């Protein structure tokens, strides 16, 4: 009777004491049994050892900036382009040829300028990635070949302007040691014939030739063994993109080269969410046939350069692309008055805030340079 009365009087304390003893026993069992038997319920991370648990996936650090586009790569990813020479490809932009354009969105930088008669042509620079189909590849001109020298690039083209005089591109190529990937020398399999661009009356405007980055690098190895190495490139400055809240709702860039034909009047329309510019030409969306999507760029530059006739009895043009001049830079939906400077054909064209020596920093990605005649 006395014991039962004592238990009844002290039952709360006994319950607390029992709870403590039970918890201690379970804890002791955890530390004794989990290491010995690797019980997953008690020790989900496995046995305790001298080595800490390893994460399933290691973080990928991207800290190597591509010198043309500014896009960051990991050490492993950068190995692709660090072992290669850039490619500069002439691409047809005749109004009737646009339906045959492939690969422009895969470029790192594009120059656009008038070839003849107010009709523009592109020099697209490829380097940081494989592009499976590029074209339609067109003929060479002196000033496009000169722009290819900024990058120490292999210069891809189908023939070119060869009449003796200042516009003779073959003399220019030889004198400046340009690695020319001429379709007339390489043929197939570097270039694939894709048909003809036809005028509306059925006459042939131009021949369509397609290539790829892999084919061009392979062709370069045939013509210039041992030269497919990354040249020393002077990089632009790059920056982080403006945050969404600081971007304007809209912006339009309109420009003309000669003012006619209207099929070559250009426009870029700013898209706030992607912080990029969508390309229009001749009043219609300009598409890359490889993706069926509208061409876009992170930066758009209007670079004003002196243009003149070659004076050789042809319609060929020349541009003063070495020296300096006015420019306007567009990025983040903002317009920056600028100037361009280039000391030699082998030097990069760089852009500065107008009236200063402050170099402009670009957003990382594709840049499109529109060369507007003075």
pLDDT means per 10 residues, the chain with 374 residues, are 60 62 59 50 47 63 97 98 98 97 98 97 98 98 98 98 96 98 97 94 94 98 98 97 98 96 97 98 97 98 98 95 98 98 98 98 98 96
Residue 74 in any domain: the answer is yes
Summarised one tens digit per residue, pLDDT across range 240-257 is: 999 999 999 999 999 999
208 domain-assigned: yes
Quick check: is 1 in a domain? Answer: no
**What is the pLDDT at residue 42?**
45
- Containing H/E element for 297? strand 296-297
* Domain assignment present for 56: no
pLDDT value of position 258: 96
Which phi and psi angles does 321 have, rounded to 5°? -95, 0
**Has residue 43 been placed in a domain?**
no
Q: Tokens at residue 322, please? A: 């070495």
Answer yes or no: is 221 within a domain. yes
How many domains does the chain divide into? Answer: 1
The three-state secondary structure class of 308 is: strand
Query: Do the domain assignments include residue 17?
Result: no
- Contact predicate 264/96, CB 8 Å: no
In a domain, 239, yes or no: yes
- Output the pLDDT for position 60: 83
The alpha-helical segments, DSSP class H, found in the chain are 2-9, 11-37, 75-82, 142-148, 169-175, 183-186, 213-223
Q: What local confidence, expressed as pLDDT, does residue 96 receive?
A: 96
CATH number assigned to the domain comprising residue 133: 3.50.90.10
What domain range is 206 assigned to?
A: 65-373
DSSP letter string over 175-219?
HTT-EEEEHHHH-TTTSEEEEEEE-TTS-EEEEEEEB-HHHHHHH
């Amino acid at each position: 009777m006395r014991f039962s009365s004592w238990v009844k009087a002290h039952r709360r304390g006994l319950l607390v004491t029992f709870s403590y003893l039970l918890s201690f026993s379970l804890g002791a069992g955890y530390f004794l049994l989990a290491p010995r038997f690797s019980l997953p319920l008690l020790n989900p991370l496995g046995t305790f050892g001298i080595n800490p648990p390893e994460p399933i996936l290691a973080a990928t650090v991207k800290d190597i900036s591509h010198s043309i586009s500014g896009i960051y790569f990991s050490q492993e990813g950068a190995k692709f382009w660090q072992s290669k020479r850039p490619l500069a490809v002439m691409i047809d932009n005749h109004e009737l040829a646009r339906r045959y354009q492939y690969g422009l969105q895969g470029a790192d930088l594009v120059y656009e300028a008038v070839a003849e008669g107010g009709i523009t042509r592109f020099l697209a620079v490829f380097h940081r990635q494989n592009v499976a189909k590029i074209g339609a590849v067109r003929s060479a001109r002196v000033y496009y070949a000169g722009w290819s020298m900024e990058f120490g690039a292999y210069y891809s083209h189908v023939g070119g302007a060869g009449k003796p005089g200042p516009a003779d591109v073959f003399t220019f190529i030889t004198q400046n040691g340009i690695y020319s990937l001429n379709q007339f020398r390489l043929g197939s399999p570097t270039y694939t014939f894709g048909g003809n661009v036809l005028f509306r009356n059925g006459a042939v405007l131009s021949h369509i030739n397609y290539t790829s980055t892999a084919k061009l690098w392979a062709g370069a190895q045939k013509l210039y063994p041992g030269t497919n190495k990354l040249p020393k490139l002077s990089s632009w400055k790059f920056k982080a993109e403006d945050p969404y809240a600081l971007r304007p709702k809209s912006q339009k860039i309109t420009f003309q080269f000669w003012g006619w034909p209207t099929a070559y009047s250009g426009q870029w329309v700013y898209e706030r969410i992607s912080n990029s510019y969508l390309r229009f030409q001749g009043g219609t969306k300009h598409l890359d046939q490889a993706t069926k999507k509208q061409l876009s760029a992170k930066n758009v530059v209007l670079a004003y350069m002196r243009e003149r006739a070659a004076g050789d009895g042809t319609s060929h043009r020349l541009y003063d692309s070495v020296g300096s001049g006015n420019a306007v830079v567009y990025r983040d939906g903002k317009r920056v008055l600028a100037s361009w400077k280039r000391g030699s054909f082998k030097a990069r064209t760089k852009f500065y805030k107008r009236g200063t020596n402050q170099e402009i920093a670009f957003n990382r990605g594709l840049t499109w340079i529109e060369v507007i005649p003075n």
